[in-house]
Chains A and B, each alone.
Chain A
Amino acid sequence: MASEQLKQWLEQYWQGELNHVEEMQFRSELKINKASLTGELKSLAEWFEANENVKQEISLGDDFDEMVLNSTVRKNISMGNWSWWKIAASILIIISLGYMAWLLPQQNSKPKNVAEITNTQEDPEKAFEETKATLLLMANMMNNGKEHLNSLQLFQVAQDKIQNTLKQEKSKQKEDIKNKI
Chain B
Amino acid sequence: MKKILIIAMICSTGSIAHAQNSEFINFYNKYSTNTEFTVVSVNERMIALFSNFEMENEEEKAVMEAVSKLKGIKLIANQNTTKGKQLFNEAQKSFATGYDELMTVRDGNSDMRFLIKEKGGIINELVMLVGSDSSFVAASLFGNIDLKQMAKMAKGLNISGMENLEKLEDMDDN
Contacts and interface: CB of A to CB of B under 8 A. Distances in A.
A143 B155 contact: yes
Contacts, number: 170
Contact of B151 (A96, A112, A143): A143
B10 to A, nearest CB: 9
Interface residues of A, number: 49
A103 B16 CA distance: 10
B134 interface: no
A146 interface: yes
Contact of B171 (A92, A99, A129): A129
Contact of A138 (B44, B60, B150, B160): B150
Interface residues of B, number: 66
Q: Main secondary structure on chain A at its contact with chain B?
A: helix
A137 B43 contact: no
A144 B165 CA distance: 15
A107 interface: yes
Interface in A135-169: 135-146, 148-149
A136 B63 contact: yes
B9, B40, B103, B172 interface centre (most CB from chain A within 10 Å) = B40
A138 B151 CA distance: 9
